[in-house]
Structure 1
Amino acid sequence: MPPTLASVAALPQLGLRSLTGPLPDTAVVWVAVSELEDPTPFLEGGELLLTTGMRLTPAGAAGYVSRLVGRGVAGLGFAVGVIHDTVPGELLAAARDQGLVLLEVPRPTPFIAVGKAVSRMLAAEWYEDVTRAFRAQRELTRAALTGRDALVARLARLLGGWALLLDPAGGVLHAAPASAARRAGALTPELTRLRRAPGARGGEPPAARSTEPMAARSTEPMAARSTGAPSASVALSLPGEHIAVQRIGLGERPRGFLAVGTDAPLPHVAHTIVGAAVALLTLQSEAPRTGRDLRASLAALLLGRPADGPAVPRGPVRVLACAGGAAVLDVLESDPAAGRGLALPLDGYVAVVVPDEASGTVESLLAGTGPIGVSDPAAADLPAALRQAGDALAAATRSGRDVVRHSELPGQGVLGLLDPRPARAFADALLAPLRAEDLVGTVRAYIAANGQGEAAARALGVHRHTLRSRMRRAAEILGRDPDDPAVRVELWIALAVMSNDESSIRHRGDSQSSAP
């Protein structure tokens, strides 16, 4: 509420004194200064008017006060010691007769000091309203995470009244307190009016159709309306109770209604709080619509008809292996551009299936969440694409790069040239002696490090002398030098074959060995 005459007059630095008795709790919306005989054309009502009485005459005092009372000013502040040493008796008598609050402003108090004081009080009140609305919105949001019943209960407490959530037919879904449910029947006529979208054909606005004499109705927009969406409320003033009914939903047909009731008319901040509740309820009511495609896709997959799922990507897709964890899921859920992707948390990373043409966009959105590995385009063999993405992610993690595509990995296509059975027999024969001495991991790290002992030792977590000793033993077992490029190629091929199952051989791009 704005500051009152009593609170303004109580400021000791102003020294204001009431000449018309105890001060009422009349709100002061602004301070105006005027020496006109009739300042009312320049007032809106609710002002504390300040004057020195420069043009005031004893004969005109009664008419002056009458005009101010008719305009609805909050009160009159008369400065003494400027034009008049005291407040004229005629003015004081007229103020007492007509019920106008008259304050004496002492000579040391400039009018601007009164204006600044009221301005500060108004600013403090505005800040308090904003803070209260912000806190209330946070409380409502937190309650909405629990459920609509918790949100309705929290709203009723915030307003100090009751709240009803009704379904589209007017049935009670949630009531806070429970006794508020009995008010639902009386709201039926208002729901009928609100079911018609505002601005639709059919005549006058809902308020004009009311014929019941017991209620004063108005149709007005509530706070937090969705732009362009049909949204209106009906306000009812009943004896000792004020009710507001708001439709929920964005479409032409409401998805429900929210009704609130309080003993006093809702102030502006309360309308903001109700609007926040309506927005949260609308989001909840519209959420099932956003999940239709995903449910249809799941149903299609369960029925063995994935092509019928509208959310299943059409045409070639890529699999992205993302190391960002929950941050990846948050980005995908918050940006509509990523809505066509299907995400699945796996052990250590999140796999995201996206249409080939959307891959670049999704990669950009996920940049910064962690390393990303991207498969080659795939039409049907998604398991192979998942392996490709995993290999690329491992390479991105090792190299410290943000994104690595499978096509960028070295050695692509080699396994595709091999016959699976001879290739596996070759790999088994070459690696069997090393496997017997538990040296396969050492040789793998040495090959992956391109023969650099320091890097291979770090990858294995051993001292470089230990690595050198192991590699000498491997050379003895193999009967050949691992530093010979030809020998190293053979070992790399053998390791790559053993790192892929038989179905992967002859598939382009699956020629990666495991990470050291």
Structure 2
Amino acid sequence: MLRVADVLALPAVQRGVPTVLVGGRALDAGVRWVHVSDSAAVARLLDGGELLLTTGAAWPTAPAQLRALVAELTAVGVSGIVIELGARMPRVPEAVVQACASSGLALVALAAEVKFVAVTEAVHRALIEAQTEALRERQRLHDLFTALSLRGAPADVVVAEVARALDAPVHLENPAGEVVAIEALRVPVSEALPPPGAGDRDRVPVQARGVRWGWLVAGDGPAHPAGRATVMELGATALAFGCLADGEGAWTVLAHRSLIDDLLGARFAREEDIAARLRRLGLDPAAGIGHGLVLHTDEAPDRIIARARAAGVVAVGSRRGADVVLLVAAGAGALTDAIVQRVSGGVPAVLGPGADDVLGLFASTRAALELAGRSSGSHGPRVLRVADRPLERLVSALRDDRRLQAHSEQMLDPLVRHDRDRRGDLLDVLAALVAHPGNRSAAAAASHLSRSVFYQRLAVIGDLLGADLDDGETLAALHLALLARRRDETRTT
């Protein structure tokens, strides 16, 4: 459907030197036809959506009658009034202007004479072209979303295509209001996500066979040739086919995995964007103390999340390699070892430091991942806490300080070059030493070396570094350097 503004831009109308007397949002009214009449009783001949072209030759002159005429035209739903000025009506009566302004009806005056038939033909031709373009665009989108369905495209791909078609932010949410996928385009995610249940958004249900799996929601955007509702319905149909094929659980996996990946990969420009997505999954970083939690387990993340909720713990989680990574927060009180073990199901768990914002959760989760990588296969406590390890806390706190990396490079460079050039294991031997500072027999066993070979390696390390490995301060500095190095290795992988 054309808009009044589109009609005014046509050359046939421009030749009449149009002046907009009532415009603004009224110019966005749809025009489905043009009707030419000077009759004051024309309203009874109209069905709505017509743009009235008139000279006003048979219109009354009394202000009350003119206001009544405009009221009748508004009531039947005309798109606007275009009046050609002339000897009978040299200027538009003020009563007509005021009545149109009050009712939000577009009003345009033509200063020069035009052929109404030429205007009618131009509008009708433009309407046919618009309808043809709409049909072409509907077919293109139908082919696009059908192809996505047949290929088994995941929900986030479908949502992204809907957003690109509408040139507007689009997100998919389940019945609980949790955001499954979002494509915000040029808008910050925190702005593209309204509070759950908020109105003033285009929403279409994603449903099939009597089951509603969620809603596809679009923000403000331009008109679409095929109609915004048509685009969204085609996208919702593709999403429903995906649910029929993969099950509703695939949405939960996607929502949690994409958020964990974006957080740990630092794929966000604003903290609030991640915070908004977390809140839609039930975890508000600012509402309490959150932690990163890493479990070395083969169990499916959704089962762990369900167990966490049963224990009163809010959790968002996803698998990363051999581990399950979760962002957790206790509803009330602290995360005791007993609660953590209930969540983990008894498998070894590593809990990062407490955090009350997105960057804190980012650092907490990375610290837990780094400690989990070093403690894998050990027979220590079932719950390891980064907060119980002072150097781990320090490395986490200085996560982006260039001086920490410089300290690591300065301390360890001779060993790094030795291991690289000779395919040696001095860094591993040093790690075993700092892990068992008071028990070199245990350190040798952890290195899988005999005591004599282990002591030989220590002698080489001491010579290369020019350091006394029996000095506590030296060992602490080397331990800090190793932690910083391994943290950087974890970040790059």
TM range (shorter): 0.3 to 0.5
Higher normalized contact order (CA 8 Å, seq sep 6+, divided by chain length):
2
Please say which structure displays the higher CA radius of gyration: 1
Q: TM-score, normalised by structure 2?
A: 0.39
Q: TM-score, normalised by structure 1?
A: 0.38
Whose helix proportion is higher, 1 or 2?
A: 2
